[in-house]
A and B are shown apart, each in its own frame.
Chain A
Amino acid sequence: MPLHFELVTPEKLVRSEDVYMVTVPGTEGDFGVLEGHAPLVSTLRDGELLVFATQSGQPATIRVEGGFAEVNERGLTVLAERAEA
Protein backbone atom coordinates (compact mmCIF):
# COMPACT_ATOMS: atom_id res chain seq x y z
CA MET A 1 0.00 0.00 0.00
CA PRO A 2 1.45 3.40 -0.95
CA LEU A 3 1.58 6.41 1.29
CA HIS A 4 -0.15 9.54 0.06
CA PHE A 5 2.30 12.41 0.40
CA GLU A 6 1.67 16.10 -0.08
CA LEU A 7 4.13 18.94 0.20
CA VAL A 8 2.63 22.43 0.21
CA THR A 9 4.16 25.90 0.54
CA PRO A 10 2.24 29.20 0.74
CA GLU A 11 3.09 29.79 -2.91
CA LYS A 12 2.02 26.46 -4.33
CA LEU A 13 1.35 22.75 -4.04
CA VAL A 14 4.82 21.31 -4.60
CA ARG A 15 4.12 17.57 -4.52
CA SER A 16 1.04 15.42 -4.36
CA GLU A 17 1.79 11.79 -5.04
CA ASP A 18 1.77 8.24 -3.73
CA VAL A 19 5.13 7.09 -2.42
CA TYR A 20 6.59 4.26 -0.36
CA MET A 21 8.14 6.22 2.49
CA VAL A 22 9.09 9.76 3.47
CA THR A 23 11.69 10.74 6.05
CA VAL A 24 10.79 14.02 7.70
CA PRO A 25 13.18 16.32 9.63
CA GLY A 26 11.17 16.89 12.81
CA THR A 27 12.25 19.30 15.54
CA GLU A 28 12.86 16.36 17.83
CA GLY A 29 14.63 14.22 15.27
CA ASP A 30 14.01 12.70 11.87
CA PHE A 31 11.20 10.24 11.49
CA GLY A 32 10.15 7.98 8.67
CA VAL A 33 6.52 7.75 7.67
CA LEU A 34 5.13 4.62 6.05
CA GLU A 35 1.57 3.84 5.13
CA GLY A 36 -0.58 3.34 8.22
CA HIS A 37 1.53 5.53 10.50
CA ALA A 38 -0.16 6.61 13.72
CA PRO A 39 -1.60 10.16 13.69
CA LEU A 40 1.12 12.69 14.43
CA VAL A 41 1.68 16.41 14.29
CA SER A 42 5.22 17.67 14.42
CA THR A 43 6.98 20.94 13.74
CA LEU A 44 9.89 20.88 11.32
CA ARG A 45 13.42 22.07 11.59
CA ASP A 46 15.19 23.29 8.46
CA GLY A 47 16.45 20.18 6.73
CA GLU A 48 15.88 17.66 4.01
CA LEU A 49 12.86 15.54 3.22
CA LEU A 50 13.79 12.15 1.80
CA VAL A 51 11.14 10.81 -0.52
CA PHE A 52 11.36 7.08 -1.33
CA ALA A 53 9.16 6.45 -4.33
CA THR A 54 9.73 2.68 -4.07
CA GLN A 55 11.10 0.36 -1.42
CA SER A 56 14.40 -0.24 -3.19
CA GLY A 57 14.94 2.99 -5.13
CA GLN A 58 17.11 5.97 -4.31
CA PRO A 59 15.37 8.75 -2.38
CA ALA A 60 14.69 12.19 -3.82
CA THR A 61 15.69 15.01 -1.49
CA ILE A 62 13.72 18.19 -1.00
CA ARG A 63 15.05 20.95 1.19
CA VAL A 64 12.39 22.46 3.45
CA GLU A 65 12.40 25.36 5.88
CA GLY A 66 9.97 25.96 8.69
CA GLY A 67 6.48 24.63 9.00
CA PHE A 68 5.08 21.34 10.21
CA ALA A 69 3.99 17.88 9.18
CA GLU A 70 0.72 16.13 9.85
CA VAL A 71 0.08 12.41 9.56
CA ASN A 72 -3.52 11.29 9.58
CA GLU A 73 -5.53 8.42 8.16
CA ARG A 74 -5.36 10.00 4.70
CA GLY A 75 -1.59 10.23 4.58
CA LEU A 76 1.22 12.67 5.20
CA THR A 77 0.91 16.42 4.64
CA VAL A 78 3.98 18.60 4.96
CA LEU A 79 3.25 22.33 5.18
CA ALA A 80 6.58 24.08 4.75
CA GLU A 81 7.31 27.75 4.51
CA ARG A 82 9.88 27.18 1.81
CA ALA A 83 10.77 24.13 -0.26
CA GLU A 84 13.34 23.45 -2.95
CA ALA A 85 13.89 20.21 -4.77
Chain B
Amino acid sequence: MASLKALKLRIGSVKSTQKITKAMKTVAAAKLRRAQDAALAGRPYAERLEAVMASLASKVVISASSPKLLTGTGKDERHLLVVVTSERGLAGGFNTNIVRAARRRADELIAAGKSVRFYIVGRKARSAINRYYPKLTLHDHDMSHAKTARFEDAHAIAEDLIARYEDDRFDVAHLFFSRFQSALVQEPTEKQLIPVPLAKDAAQAGGAAAVDYEPDEEAILADLLPKNVAIQIYGALLENQAGFYGSQMTAMDNATRNAGDMINRLSIAYNRQRQAAITTELVEIISGAEAL
Protein backbone atom coordinates (compact mmCIF):
# COMPACT_ATOMS: atom_id res chain seq x y z
CA MET B 1 0.00 0.00 0.00
CA ALA B 2 1.31 3.38 -1.02
CA SER B 3 1.82 5.95 1.68
CA LEU B 4 -0.53 8.88 2.17
CA LYS B 5 2.00 11.27 0.76
CA ALA B 6 2.58 9.13 -2.35
CA LEU B 7 -1.17 8.92 -2.97
CA LYS B 8 -1.53 12.65 -2.67
CA LEU B 9 1.26 13.24 -5.18
CA ARG B 10 -0.29 10.74 -7.55
CA ILE B 11 -3.68 12.46 -7.39
CA GLY B 12 -2.03 15.79 -8.11
CA SER B 13 -0.24 14.46 -11.15
CA VAL B 14 -3.34 12.80 -12.59
CA LYS B 15 -5.21 16.05 -12.06
CA SER B 16 -2.70 18.02 -14.04
CA THR B 17 -2.77 15.42 -16.81
CA GLN B 18 -6.53 15.74 -16.88
CA LYS B 19 -6.22 19.49 -17.25
CA ILE B 20 -3.96 19.03 -20.26
CA THR B 21 -6.18 16.49 -21.98
CA LYS B 22 -9.20 18.64 -21.35
CA ALA B 23 -7.51 21.67 -22.88
CA MET B 24 -6.43 19.60 -25.87
CA LYS B 25 -9.96 18.38 -26.34
CA THR B 26 -11.32 21.91 -26.33
CA VAL B 27 -8.70 23.08 -28.81
CA ALA B 28 -9.34 20.09 -31.07
CA ALA B 29 -13.08 20.74 -30.98
CA ALA B 30 -12.60 24.36 -31.99
CA LYS B 31 -10.23 23.44 -34.80
CA LEU B 32 -12.46 20.59 -35.89
CA ARG B 33 -15.28 22.93 -36.73
CA ARG B 34 -13.12 24.91 -39.12
CA ALA B 35 -11.45 21.89 -40.65
CA GLN B 36 -14.81 20.21 -41.08
CA ASP B 37 -16.26 23.21 -42.91
CA ALA B 38 -13.24 23.30 -45.19
CA ALA B 39 -13.42 19.58 -45.91
CA LEU B 40 -17.13 19.63 -46.66
CA ALA B 41 -16.88 22.76 -48.80
CA GLY B 42 -14.03 21.25 -50.78
CA ARG B 43 -15.89 18.09 -51.66
CA PRO B 44 -18.16 19.33 -54.49
CA TYR B 45 -15.20 20.51 -56.57
CA ALA B 46 -13.26 17.27 -56.17
CA GLU B 47 -16.35 15.21 -56.93
CA ARG B 48 -17.33 17.22 -60.01
CA LEU B 49 -13.81 17.24 -61.31
CA GLU B 50 -13.61 13.51 -60.84
CA ALA B 51 -16.90 13.06 -62.69
CA VAL B 52 -15.76 15.26 -65.55
CA MET B 53 -12.44 13.43 -65.72
CA ALA B 54 -14.12 10.07 -65.77
CA SER B 55 -16.56 11.03 -68.49
CA LEU B 56 -13.78 12.66 -70.50
CA ALA B 57 -11.57 9.62 -70.08
CA SER B 58 -14.33 7.35 -71.31
CA LYS B 59 -15.06 9.51 -74.36
CA VAL B 60 -11.57 10.29 -75.50
CA VAL B 61 -10.23 8.07 -78.23
CA ILE B 62 -7.12 6.48 -76.80
CA SER B 63 -4.21 6.80 -79.16
CA ALA B 64 -0.46 6.60 -78.91
CA SER B 65 -0.32 10.34 -78.40
CA SER B 66 -2.77 10.37 -75.50
CA PRO B 67 -1.26 11.61 -72.25
CA LYS B 68 0.23 8.87 -70.11
CA LEU B 69 -1.53 10.21 -67.02
CA LEU B 70 -4.74 9.05 -68.65
CA THR B 71 -3.77 5.84 -70.37
CA GLY B 72 -1.19 4.56 -67.91
CA THR B 73 2.20 3.19 -68.83
CA GLY B 74 0.66 0.00 -70.09
CA LYS B 75 2.20 -1.93 -67.22
CA ASP B 76 1.08 -2.84 -63.76
CA GLU B 77 4.38 -3.69 -62.12
CA ARG B 78 5.63 -0.81 -60.00
CA HIS B 79 3.16 0.56 -57.50
CA LEU B 80 3.58 3.75 -55.54
CA LEU B 81 1.60 4.10 -52.35
CA VAL B 82 1.08 7.70 -51.33
CA VAL B 83 0.35 7.63 -47.62
CA VAL B 84 -1.01 10.83 -46.11
CA THR B 85 -1.10 11.11 -42.32
CA SER B 86 -1.00 13.90 -39.79
CA GLU B 87 2.07 15.63 -38.40
CA ARG B 88 1.12 15.06 -34.81
CA GLY B 89 -0.09 12.22 -32.70
CA LEU B 90 -2.35 11.93 -29.66
CA ALA B 91 -5.32 11.25 -31.88
CA GLY B 92 -6.28 7.69 -31.03
CA GLY B 93 -6.04 5.22 -33.88
CA PHE B 94 -6.23 7.84 -36.61
CA ASN B 95 -2.77 7.41 -38.13
CA THR B 96 -2.53 3.73 -37.29
CA ASN B 97 -5.67 3.05 -39.31
CA ILE B 98 -4.36 4.81 -42.39
CA VAL B 99 -1.03 3.03 -42.15
CA ARG B 100 -2.79 -0.29 -41.63
CA ALA B 101 -4.85 0.19 -44.80
CA ALA B 102 -1.68 1.00 -46.71
CA ARG B 103 0.14 -2.00 -45.26
CA ARG B 104 -2.66 -4.35 -46.18
CA ARG B 105 -2.50 -3.11 -49.74
CA ALA B 106 1.29 -3.25 -49.82
CA ASP B 107 1.34 -6.83 -48.56
CA GLU B 108 -1.20 -7.84 -51.20
CA LEU B 109 0.85 -6.26 -53.94
CA ILE B 110 4.10 -7.75 -52.69
CA ALA B 111 2.47 -11.17 -52.46
CA ALA B 112 1.35 -10.76 -56.07
CA GLY B 113 4.97 -10.15 -57.03
CA LYS B 114 4.70 -6.42 -57.74
CA SER B 115 7.23 -3.91 -56.64
CA VAL B 116 6.04 -1.44 -54.03
CA ARG B 117 7.43 1.94 -53.04
CA PHE B 118 6.12 4.52 -50.62
CA TYR B 119 5.63 8.24 -50.93
CA ILE B 120 5.10 9.67 -47.51
CA VAL B 121 3.25 12.82 -46.54
CA GLY B 122 3.12 13.63 -42.84
CA ARG B 123 5.45 12.75 -40.01
CA LYS B 124 3.39 9.98 -38.49
CA ALA B 125 3.50 7.75 -41.54
CA ARG B 126 7.25 8.10 -41.75
CA SER B 127 8.19 6.16 -38.65
CA ALA B 128 5.53 3.50 -39.12
CA ILE B 129 6.29 2.80 -42.76
CA ASN B 130 10.03 2.86 -42.21
CA ARG B 131 9.64 0.32 -39.46
CA TYR B 132 7.61 -2.16 -41.51
CA TYR B 133 9.17 -1.58 -44.89
CA PRO B 134 12.68 -0.25 -44.44
CA LYS B 135 14.29 1.21 -47.57
CA LEU B 136 11.10 1.20 -49.61
CA THR B 137 10.42 4.90 -49.15
CA LEU B 138 10.82 6.78 -52.39
CA HIS B 139 10.20 10.23 -51.06
CA ASP B 140 9.19 11.87 -47.86
CA HIS B 141 7.28 15.11 -48.11
CA ASP B 142 7.85 17.33 -45.12
CA MET B 143 4.68 19.06 -43.99
CA SER B 144 5.86 20.20 -40.58
CA HIS B 145 5.85 23.86 -41.60
CA ALA B 146 2.16 23.82 -42.47
CA LYS B 147 -0.42 24.42 -39.79
CA THR B 148 -3.36 23.96 -42.11
CA ALA B 149 -3.88 22.12 -45.38
CA ARG B 150 -2.95 24.43 -48.20
CA PHE B 151 -3.51 24.06 -51.90
CA GLU B 152 0.13 24.99 -52.56
CA ASP B 153 1.29 21.90 -50.72
CA ALA B 154 -1.07 19.68 -52.66
CA HIS B 155 0.09 21.33 -55.84
CA ALA B 156 3.76 20.78 -55.00
CA ILE B 157 3.16 17.12 -54.16
CA ALA B 158 1.20 16.61 -57.37
CA GLU B 159 3.92 18.21 -59.47
CA ASP B 160 6.56 16.08 -57.84
CA LEU B 161 4.52 12.91 -58.39
CA ILE B 162 3.83 13.74 -62.01
CA ALA B 163 7.50 14.51 -62.66
CA ARG B 164 8.42 11.11 -61.26
CA TYR B 165 5.70 9.48 -63.31
CA GLU B 166 6.88 11.11 -66.53
CA ASP B 167 10.35 9.98 -65.56
CA ASP B 168 8.94 6.43 -65.63
CA ARG B 169 9.60 5.67 -61.99
CA PHE B 170 6.30 3.91 -61.30
CA ASP B 171 3.21 2.59 -63.12
CA VAL B 172 0.34 3.05 -60.69
CA ALA B 173 -0.11 5.42 -57.76
CA HIS B 174 -2.55 4.83 -54.92
CA LEU B 175 -3.53 7.48 -52.43
CA PHE B 176 -4.23 6.59 -48.80
CA PHE B 177 -5.95 8.99 -46.46
CA SER B 178 -8.82 9.09 -44.02
CA ARG B 179 -12.22 10.15 -45.21
CA PHE B 180 -14.02 12.33 -42.74
CA GLN B 181 -17.51 11.14 -41.91
CA SER B 182 -18.15 12.62 -38.50
CA ALA B 183 -16.17 13.58 -35.44
CA LEU B 184 -16.47 9.96 -34.32
CA VAL B 185 -16.02 8.15 -37.60
CA GLN B 186 -13.10 8.47 -39.98
CA GLU B 187 -12.77 5.89 -42.65
CA PRO B 188 -9.35 4.97 -44.02
CA THR B 189 -9.73 5.25 -47.77
CA GLU B 190 -7.77 4.19 -50.80
CA LYS B 191 -8.04 5.93 -54.14
CA GLN B 192 -6.26 5.32 -57.40
CA LEU B 193 -4.48 8.52 -58.26
CA ILE B 194 -2.50 7.74 -61.42
CA PRO B 195 -3.59 6.80 -64.03
CA VAL B 196 -7.06 8.32 -63.83
CA PRO B 197 -9.55 5.58 -63.03
CA LEU B 198 -12.17 5.17 -65.76
CA ALA B 199 -15.87 5.53 -65.08
CA LYS B 200 -17.44 2.20 -64.26
CA ASP B 201 -20.01 2.54 -67.01
CA ALA B 202 -17.38 3.67 -69.47
CA ALA B 203 -18.53 1.14 -72.03
CA GLN B 204 -22.02 2.63 -72.23
CA ALA B 205 -21.01 6.25 -71.90
CA GLY B 206 -18.41 6.04 -74.62
CA GLY B 207 -19.50 7.35 -77.99
CA ALA B 208 -23.01 8.25 -76.83
CA ALA B 209 -22.50 11.92 -77.60
CA ALA B 210 -19.85 13.70 -79.56
CA VAL B 211 -18.31 16.31 -77.29
CA ASP B 212 -16.90 19.55 -78.59
CA TYR B 213 -13.54 20.49 -77.17
CA GLU B 214 -12.23 24.03 -76.98
CA PRO B 215 -9.36 24.55 -77.71
CA ASP B 216 -8.90 20.83 -78.35
CA GLU B 217 -9.01 17.52 -76.59
CA GLU B 218 -5.31 17.26 -75.91
CA ALA B 219 -4.84 20.79 -74.65
CA ILE B 220 -7.74 20.32 -72.26
CA LEU B 221 -6.50 17.00 -71.03
CA ALA B 222 -2.98 18.35 -70.60
CA ASP B 223 -4.45 21.08 -68.43
CA LEU B 224 -6.96 18.94 -66.57
CA LEU B 225 -4.99 15.84 -65.70
CA PRO B 226 -2.36 17.48 -63.48
CA LYS B 227 -5.05 19.67 -61.95
CA ASN B 228 -7.06 16.60 -61.10
CA VAL B 229 -4.12 14.99 -59.30
CA ALA B 230 -3.52 18.15 -57.28
CA ILE B 231 -7.18 18.47 -56.37
CA GLN B 232 -7.44 14.86 -55.27
CA ILE B 233 -4.43 15.34 -53.01
CA TYR B 234 -5.81 18.61 -51.68
CA GLY B 235 -9.07 16.83 -50.93
CA ALA B 236 -7.16 14.15 -49.05
CA LEU B 237 -5.32 16.77 -47.01
CA LEU B 238 -8.57 18.52 -46.10
CA GLU B 239 -10.35 15.31 -45.19
CA ASN B 240 -7.37 14.18 -43.16
CA GLN B 241 -7.21 17.39 -41.23
CA ALA B 242 -10.86 17.28 -40.27
CA GLY B 243 -10.56 13.60 -39.40
CA PHE B 244 -7.47 14.24 -37.33
CA TYR B 245 -9.14 16.82 -35.13
CA GLY B 246 -12.24 14.68 -34.81
CA SER B 247 -10.15 11.73 -33.76
CA GLN B 248 -8.07 13.81 -31.40
CA MET B 249 -11.16 15.26 -29.80
CA THR B 250 -12.57 11.81 -29.14
CA ALA B 251 -9.26 10.48 -27.86
CA MET B 252 -8.78 13.42 -25.50
CA ASP B 253 -12.36 13.15 -24.29
CA ASN B 254 -11.73 9.53 -23.37
CA ALA B 255 -8.47 10.43 -21.70
CA THR B 256 -10.17 13.13 -19.64
CA ARG B 257 -12.84 10.70 -18.55
CA ASN B 258 -10.27 8.04 -17.64
CA ALA B 259 -8.33 10.57 -15.61
CA GLY B 260 -11.54 11.47 -13.77
CA ASP B 261 -12.18 7.81 -12.91
CA MET B 262 -8.63 7.42 -11.74
CA ILE B 263 -8.84 10.49 -9.51
CA ASN B 264 -12.00 9.07 -7.93
CA ARG B 265 -10.36 5.74 -7.21
CA LEU B 266 -7.25 7.33 -5.82
CA SER B 267 -9.25 9.72 -3.65
CA ILE B 268 -11.17 6.84 -2.14
CA ALA B 269 -7.94 5.01 -1.34
CA TYR B 270 -6.48 8.20 0.09
CA ASN B 271 -9.49 8.90 2.32
CA ARG B 272 -9.61 5.32 3.59
CA GLN B 273 -5.99 5.50 4.58
CA ARG B 274 -6.39 8.83 6.25
CA GLN B 275 -9.36 7.49 8.18
CA ALA B 276 -7.39 4.40 9.21
CA ALA B 277 -4.53 6.58 10.42
CA ILE B 278 -6.87 8.74 12.51
CA THR B 279 -8.52 5.66 14.03
CA THR B 280 -5.16 4.17 14.94
CA GLU B 281 -4.10 7.42 16.54
CA LEU B 282 -7.35 7.65 18.55
CA VAL B 283 -6.98 4.10 19.77
CA GLU B 284 -3.46 4.88 20.91
CA ILE B 285 -4.49 8.03 22.75
CA ILE B 286 -7.45 6.34 24.48
CA SER B 287 -5.54 3.29 25.53
CA GLY B 288 -2.76 5.59 26.76
CA ALA B 289 -5.27 7.58 28.82
CA GLU B 290 -6.81 4.40 30.28
CA ALA B 291 -3.42 3.14 31.37
CA LEU B 292 -2.99 6.14 33.63
Listed in ascending order, the chain A residues whose CB lies under 8 Å from chain B are 6, 8-13, 26-28, 38-43, 68, 70, 72-73, 77, 79
Contact = CB atoms under 8 A, between A and B. Distances in A.
Contact of A13 (B38, B44, B234): B44
A10 B42 contact: yes
A39 B211 contact: yes
Interface stretch (B10-18, B79-87, B216-224, B276-284): B216-224
A8 B215 contact: no
Contacts of B55: 72
Given A26-B214, A70-B52, A43 B41 contact: no
Given A27-B214, A28-B215, A72-B55, A43 B42 contact: no
A70 B223 CA distance: 14
Interface string B228-241: 00010010000000
State the majority secondary structure of interface residues on A: strand
B56 interface: yes
A39 to B, nearest CB: 4
A73 to B, nearest CB: 7
B209 interface: yes
State the majority secondary structure of interface residues on B: helix
Interface of B: 38, 41-42, 44-46, 48-49, 52, 55-56, 151, 209-215, 219-220, 223-224, 231, 234
B42 A12 contact: yes
B217 to A, nearest CB: 8
B161 to A, nearest CB: 18
Contacts of B52: 41, 68, 70, 77, 79
B220 A40 contact: no
- Most A CB within 10 A of own CB, among B45, B215, B234: B45
Contacts of A26: 214
A26 B38 CA distance: 29
Given A10-B231, A79-B49, A79-B52, A40 B212 contact: yes
Contacts of A8: 44-45, 48
A72 B212 CA distance: 10
Contact of A68 (B38, B209, B223, B231): B223
29 contacts: A8-B44, A8-B45, A9-B45, A10-B42, A10-B46, A10-B151, A10-B234, A11-B38, A11-B41, A11-B42, A12-B44, A13-B44, A27-B215, A38-B209, A39-B211, A40-B213, A41-B56, A41-B211, A41-B212, A41-B213, A41-B220, A42-B212, A42-B213, A43-B219, A43-B220, A68-B52, A68-B223, A73-B209, A79-B48
A9 B209 CA distance: 27
- Most B CB within 10 A of own CB, among A11, A28, A41: A41
Contact of B48 (A6, A11, A40, A43): A6
Contact of B41 (A12, A38, A70): A12
